[in-house]
Structure 1
Amino acid sequence: MTSTVPELSAVADRVRIAPDDEAVRAQDETISYGELWERAGRVVHQLETLGASRATTIGVHLERSIDLIVAIVGLLRADCVAVPLDVAYPAERLRFMCADAGVRLVIGHHQPLERLGGFTPVTHDGKLVYAVNESVPSTSTEDDLAYLVYTSGSTGRPKGVRYAHRNLTNLITWQSESSSCGAGDRTLQFSPASFDVIYQEVLTTLREGGTVVCCTEDERLDPQLLWDLIERERINRIFVPFVMIQSLALFADAVTLARHPLREILTSGEQVQCTGPIRAMFARMPGCRLINQWGTTETHVATWYRLPADVSSWVDLPPIGTPIRGTQVRVCDEDGRPVPDGTTGELWITGSAVGPGYLELPERTARSYRTDPLDPDSPAYRTGDLGRVRPDGLLEFLGRQDTQVKVRGFRIELGEIESVLNSDPAVAQAVVAVAGTAAEERHLRAFVVPKDAGQDNGQLPDRLLTTLRHSVPAYMVPTGIEVVPSLPRTASGKIDRLALTTAGGAA
């Protein structure tokens, strides 16, 4: 249970070579590589004592902290499957995830653990608390899984996405080799624990011999505080959603070469738009490069594009670039056949980036996880994203095929929100749409048709918003709900979401 998995082999080497180097920093606390490895080893021991074995699913319910990094490394060393349980998620969603993944044992902080229900603390190590739900049988998955993350589901049921050690090893090795950062450099830990980017932040940095610097939640949400942290802690690399780059640009007037140490800003999750403020910010940081990455939760990063150092040469909508190592992207027609360069089609990701599929959803897995249309021995994932190959050979992203959307960096299935709304007895029909065009303006709006149009439905929106806040993460709660007599439809009879969001009351 304590053999080193491939994605940790370089970290183990760092522990042997430079055990006293700083590995993780959070506020005023730091730990060295040797301390990180020792504390992660204690996690392995506790898991063994509590009956966990290889491939056992283990919940991680920790706030951003050194403890969180220790738990991530400890679970990888134990070869257990991490199931991140975001402390900001509603209790109902967390309980579903635990039940769906067969989580019997959770590592957490004491106060957040109280929200899970059914879990009893059995031991602790410092602030790390180990809690067990005796009513859940111990569950193991296939041996190769590193983690299991949940993403929004079109049927109202969140999907557990499996990601294997081989996928993670390929990603981390590629990211380290393609980055300008290395030993002694400092990377911000910005991503919530429930998003796969945290593995990219943490494991890439530790593999390189750098320092992971954890921000507070206030710093994560406030661009001015984040700039202060970047300067104070001498951060060299950040992985942030595009909307945060937009926000940072609005507070970048005082940024100078002398004050900032950034060399890389990496973003994924939404179409990058090279606005005037963003161009101005990078013009003041000639030593820092903007890197656009594209992929899905099912594949993590699949392509990348490093924008030119000359900001004046940037196009408004940069491409998503070229595939990472061991990975290919096919542009296919509706039947899964590759189309000629320059033709729009669905983007299929193939090769080393493709994970093993969804947890206990064989039909959905069979629809989305296929084989490479040019190599039947290689796995493929149908993304539902549209794109094409430009004349220069770079891939261009052209939007979504379906109702899965990206808002402020979060991937959202509108159907999951609609399912909650439609379950209310006072609602005849509900639809959720995205309003706003620029990334910083995009937001969710909901429209409901009441079952009884004759009664006073004035309190219905507030009641539905309260229900949503208890059912889905905050980023999935619409900014407003409008009661409408009917929903507009297209000529084919489908709901016209564009008409909803362009109507006067939906802006």
Structure 2
Amino acid sequence: MLLDALPDGADHDPEVVPAPGSAAYVVYTSGSTGQPKGAVIEHRSLVAFARETAERLQLGAGDRFLQFASPGFDVLVEELFPIWLAGGAVVFPPPAMTGPGIDVTVLVERERLTVMELPAAFWHEWVRELDGIGAPLPGSLRLVIVGAERVLPERLVMWQKLGVPLIHVYGITETTVSSTFFRLPAKASEADLRHLPIGTALPSADLRILDPELKPVPQGAVGELYIGGVSVGRGYLGQPGLTAARFVADPACPGARVYRSGDLVRQRADGNLEFLSRVDTQIKIRGLRVEPAEIESAMCRHPQVAHAVVTVHERAGDDRRLVGYVVARARTRISVADLRRFLGRELPPYLVPSAFVQLEAIPLTTNGKVDHDRLPPPGDEPPERAEEPVPPQTPLEQQLATIVAEVLKVTLVGRNDNFFELGGDSILAIQVVARAQEAGIALSPLDLFEHPTVALLAQAAALKS
């Protein structure tokens, strides 16, 4: 983007007016392939998006819109052109007030901002800080837009106390920034707070929810989102093969194209869409489908947890484990053992992370998203125990404690230690049972789930023999 000073006035306007099909900009994105690809957006798409977004956000000449996004991120387009079209001002924050440590509240007050858009991960932290200090928002702020990642229900509850409208947006670089908008009602329903919809489409985005055969799914059914209409970009610069794979023929309109989003959605009875997950990045642990956002939401309900991220760590081969990263609330300390027990009451056993890593802050990219590459791998330190381990009291307990310790790769297992709180899971349970059976101890995997301590497991084995 060229910001050099240019002569002002009609006499200095460009002589050549771009055609609607001319390229307006190119934004590079890596996506799931990891290889940069330049999405080409044409003037017709940009003009339609700017006009419709200005109308949807009710932007006017009195608005002051914060420029927050990185210049290499397509949200920059949403921060510039709609507000310019409406006659408002774009506010570029001074260098001293940018970066990860930016004080958003001070910036809003100083620059009299009326509208701003923040990535969800950054917004989560800001809302937590606001709730912690109980400070009101500056009076100039009339609207906040949030997007990029799933929004935590707990933060929505905190935000509703502040009285400023919130809009949730969803969009893809290849289809001109944002395609759907959802305005959270002042008194939002439990359903909206639990799973914030992505809303309804702009007129330039023709949305289709299709099954694997490219047939429309019934209302309420889950399908992949395809985006058509004026918002669809030209394709990937210099990559015709990749363009053909993602920009596919419109099954309902010969000669037209739709963009295959790779996102699973469903349409509610009120017409709003709900984002569910990615088609190609659904996490599966031992054949079970896992939604990290569901686990993160449960973790954030713990009174000591301020922020949480869940990811998969592969230790060796196909040994994939869920790892939970947590940031403690101010002036508190998280007990991992207590957190495990809390999650055990909130979630099925297979959704409880095998390991937890406590961080001072969740690392973010320059665009404000969670930087998964900078999340440290879990260490080999022994798991935290709620109490000192009690030694086994019988030869059978000693034998079982030794087996469990070997499988979990810990030095000591007490008779009252919970197998799952020490990092065990269903696959490791099978290994424990297999070794026990080799040693002549009659057990089944179900026994370990129903009797997760050495003491209880020994009792179950004794009853069987």
Fold match, TM over 0.5? yes
Q: Provide the rounded CA distance (Å) in 2 between the counterparts of 1:247 and 1:39.
A: 41
Indicate how the Cα distance of structure 1 residues 230 and 483 shifts in structure 2: closer, same or farther if over 3 A, else same: closer
The aligned amino acid for 2:77 is Y
Q: Which has the higher strand share?
A: 1
Counterpart residue number, 2:182: 305
Structure 2 gaps, min length 5? 284-290, 301-306, 318-364, 381-420, 426-465
> Does residue 1:274 correspond to 2:153, yes or no?
yes
Structure 1 gaps, min length 5? 1-30, 49-53, 55-76, 81-141, 406-432, 451-468, 485-501
**From 420, 441, 444, the counterpart of 2:308:** 441
How much has 1:37 moved relative to structure 2? 5.9
Q: Provide the rounded CA distance (Å) in 1 between the counterparts of 2:143 and 2:238.
A: 38
Q: Provide the rounded CA distance (Å) in 1 between the counterparts of 2:95 and 2:377.
A: 28
> Does residue 1:382 correspond to 2:260, yes or no?
yes
SS in 2 for 1:245: helix
Write the mapping of 1:164-243 to structure 2, written as runs, cut at 5 A: 164-216=42-94, 219-222=97-100, 225-243=103-121
Counterpart residue number, 2:459: none
Cα-Cα RMSD: 3.9
Write the mapping of 1:213-362 to structure 2, written as runs, cut at 5 A: 213-216=91-94, 219-222=97-100, 225-252=103-130, 253-256=133-136, 259-275=138-154, 277-285=155-163, 288-299=164-175, 300-311=177-188, 314-362=192-240
Q: Identity rate of aligned residues, in percent?
A: 33
How many pairs were matched up? 313
The aligned amino acid for 2:146 is T
After alignment, is 302-311 or 186-195 more displaced?
A: 302-311
How much has 1:370 moved relative to structure 2? 1.4
Q: Provide the rounded CA distance (Å) in 2 between the counterparts of 1:197 and 1:384.
A: 20
Indicate how the Cα distance of structure 1 residues 153 and 308 shifts in structure 2: closer, same or farther if over 3 A, else same: closer
Deviations 1:475-500 (A, max 9, x none): 3633224799xxxxxxxxxxxxxxxx
Deviations 1:219-274 (A, max 9, x none): 444576111010111110001111122111122244336x3321111122112233
How much has 1:504 moved relative to structure 2? 4.5
Q: Provide the rounded CA distance (Å) in 2 between the counterparts of 1:505 and 1:205.
A: 53
> Does residue 1:391 correspond to 2:269, yes or no?
yes
Q: Provide the rounded CA distance (Å) in 2 between the counterparts of 1:370 and 1:316.
A: 34
SS in 1 for 2:153: coil
After alignment, is 214-223 or 307-316 more displaced?
A: 214-223
SS in 2 for 1:244: helix
Indicate how the Cα distance of structure 1 residues 40 and 317 shifts in structure 2: closer, same or farther if over 3 A, else same: farther
Q: Provide the rounded CA distance (Å) in 1 between the counterparts of 2:62 and 2:296.
A: 40
The aligned amino acid for 1:479 is L
Query: So what's the TM-score if we normalise by structure 1?
Result: 0.54
Indicate how the Cα distance of structure 1 residues 373 and 217 shifts in structure 2: closer, same or farther if over 3 A, else same: farther
How much has 1:148 moved relative to structure 2? 1.1
The aligned amino acid for 2:179 is A
Q: Provide the rounded CA distance (Å) in 2 between the counterparts of 1:320 and 1:475.
A: 23
Counterpart residue number, 1:365: 243
Q: Provide the rounded CA distance (Å) in 2 between the counterparts of 1:184 and 1:36.
A: 24
The aligned amino acid for 1:307 is L
Q: Provide the rounded CA distance (Å) in 2 between the counterparts of 1:400 and 1:148.
A: 24
Counterpart residue number, 1:412: none
Q: Provide the rounded CA distance (Å) in 1 between the counterparts of 2:152 and 2:9.
A: 40
Query: So what's the TM-score if we normalise by structure 2?
Result: 0.59
The aligned amino acid for 2:174 is E
SS in 1 for 2:257: strand
Bigger RCO of structures 1 and 2 (CA < 8 A, at least 6 apart) = 1
Contact map agreement 1:372 1:379 (CA 8 A) in 2: yes
Q: Provide the rounded CA distance (Å) in 1 between the counterparts of 2:259 and 2:269.
A: 25
SS in 2 for 1:298: helix
Q: Provide the rounded CA distance (Å) in 1 between the counterparts of 2:140 and 2:135.
A: 10
Indicate how the Cα distance of structure 1 residues 278 and 43 shifts in structure 2: closer, same or farther if over 3 A, else same: farther
Indicate how the Cα distance of structure 1 residues 41 and 157 shifts in structure 2: closer, same or farther if over 3 A, else same: farther
Q: Provide the rounded CA distance (Å) in 1 between the counterparts of 2:58 and 2:33.
A: 42
Q: Provide the rounded CA distance (Å) in 2 between the counterparts of 1:251 and 1:483.
A: 29
Deviations 1:267-305 (A, max 9, x none): 221122331x432333222xx211111111111211111
Contact map agreement 2:113 2:140 (CA 8 A) in 1: yes
